[in-house]
Structure 1
Amino acid sequence: MINKKSLTEQIYNLLKQKILNKDLKLGEKLNTRQIAEENEISLMPVRDALRQLSNEELVENKPRVGFFVKSFSEPEINDILEVRKMYELYCLKNYFSQIDREKIAELKEKISRSNNRLFTDYDNQLHQTIVDAAGNSYLSERYAELINYYKMLFNYLKDKRSEISRQEHLKLIDAILANNCQIAAKTLFKHLNTVDIKENIDLDSSST
């Protein structure tokens, strides 16, 4: 049940989490009336929330058709992965000394013993920590928006790389803690470069 205070904001947060957690699939049509009825509210805050999500490009507003969870073509996914690589490698190489070593050390312990669900959270925290080292709020905000897309796609990654990914993250952390920028950059590049669309992302499962 939705609290009657800040209805638009609550519906926005509810739908955003459902999108990022794959409760709503890529390309799925969003039934505004059903959402309103399920939460016992009027249509207006639902539509306002969907417009806000549309402004963030997590939802597509198709005139005279309705609202849909954003879907991605293979070229779009490749573009997202390429830009992500540019952000992270730039920050790692140019702000290596500013990376928060204490937080990185804490993440190493968490990543080592986390289950798959928590590993995803710690994974995101590690990469965000590298970008935040730049101390550039605009860059960090743009990266966070990009990562929302990646989170949507990550839900379609096949599980076969999960343990390999964990070991790649631990190797990256060890290189940072050892103050070896060259090895850290090489490890990060290899890690980001292993996400192959045809091999690791099940696009068919995201279609409606």
Structure 2
Amino acid sequence: MTFAAFKRQDLVSQVSETLTKAILEGDLEPGSRLNEVHLSQQFEISRAPLREALRRLESQGLIESHPRRGFFLRRISAPKIAELFQVRLALEHAAGQQVVQSITEAETGRLECQYEAIREAASNNDPLRQTEEDFRFHRLICEMSGNTRLLQFFDQIACEIRYSMVHLSGFHDDMEALAASHVPLLDALKSRDAVTYCNYLKRHLDEARDKLVAAVDS
């Protein structure tokens, strides 16, 4: 019985991860309906584990359910984006305050490599990859804080914000500038300057939020 339970959970995880990847890569449009019959046929699974996987996506904020209508990709709204960035700022502010006290040379090197990945994506004009590398940079800071709960909350809201970035045109108009905006954050962490880090972090996230809200309005 235990083995069967583990096997079922592994199946649910695989389905939810596959659907999440498709959504974050822009393969499905906001507001579109997820047809359970077609999906169960594609994955060759029954409706029960599929629905469990869809519930996971709902908890991540990627989809929403409507009684007697089914599951739909969440529509993007300006108020929702503002809420997400308010929480994100609080999380990354707390993470940065911790990291500046204990950052090592090895951790600095990891952040520098991650910044180079963001810049390389910009040079290659690859907005999808830049979005991924961007969030890896910020996630790395949260990871370095050592606070596992903080990292868990960051992962949840990052998934929703990435979803918005992928589907809103105009956000990646200046990819080089977006890459460069990470340099002050990196420098502040390297110099262990908590005040400067928090000031630049707010400016960095406010600019990202405003671009997304403007994209929604347009």
TM-score tier after normalising by the smaller chain length: 0.7 to 0.9
Residue type at the aligned position of 2:20 = K
3-state DSSP of counterpart to 2:182: helix
Tell me by how many angstroms 1:77 deviates.
1.3
Q: Distance in 2 between matches of 1:139 and 1:148?
A: 14
Give the conservation status (yes or no) of the 8 Å contact 1:104–1:173: yes
Paired-residue identity, % = 26
Which of 162, 173, 193 in structure 1 is aligned with 2:206?
193
How many residues get paired?
A: 200
Root-mean-square deviation (CA), in Å? 2.4
Which of 118, 122, 137 in structure 1 is aligned with 2:129?
118
Tell me by how many angstroms 1:103 deviates.
1.2
Q: Distance in 2 between matches of 1:175 and 1:52?
A: 37
Aligned twin of 2:76: 72
Residue type at the aligned position of 2:24 = L
Give the conservation status (yes or no) of the 8 Å contact 1:96–1:133: no
Which segments of 5 or more consecutive residues in structure 1 lack a partner in the other structure?
none
Tell me by how many angstroms 1:157 deviates.
5.1
Tell me by how many angstroms 1:73 deviates.
2.6
Which structure 2 residues correspond to residues 36-185 of structure 1 after superposition, within 5 A? 36-99=40-103, 100-114=107-121, 115=124, 116=126, 117-155=128-166, 156=168, 158=170, 159-185=172-198
Q: Distance in 2 between matches of 1:73 and 1:198?
A: 8
Which structure 2 residues correspond to residues 8-23 of structure 1 after superposition, within 5 A? 8-23=12-27
Residue type at the aligned position of 2:141 = I
Render the CA deviation track for 1:75-100: whole Å, top value 9, x for unaligned: 11111111111111222134312343
Give the conservation status (yes or no) of the 8 Å contact 1:112–1:170: no
Tell me by how many angstroms 1:58 deviates.
2.5
3-state DSSP of counterpart to 1:47: helix
Q: Distance in 1 between matches of 2:115 and 2:15?
A: 35
Give the conservation status (yes or no) of the 8 Å contact 2:60–2:159: no
More helix by share: 2
Distance 1:135 1:173, change over 3 A: same
Give the conservation status (yes or no) of the 8 Å contact 1:105–1:177: no
Q: Distance in 2 between matches of 1:28 and 1:129?
A: 33
3-state DSSP of counterpart to 1:95: helix
Which segments of 5 or more consecutive residues in structure 2 lack a partner in the other structure?
1-6
Residue type at the aligned position of 1:141 = Q
Moved more, 59-68 or 125-134: 125-134
Tell me by how many angstroms 1:124 deviates.
0.9
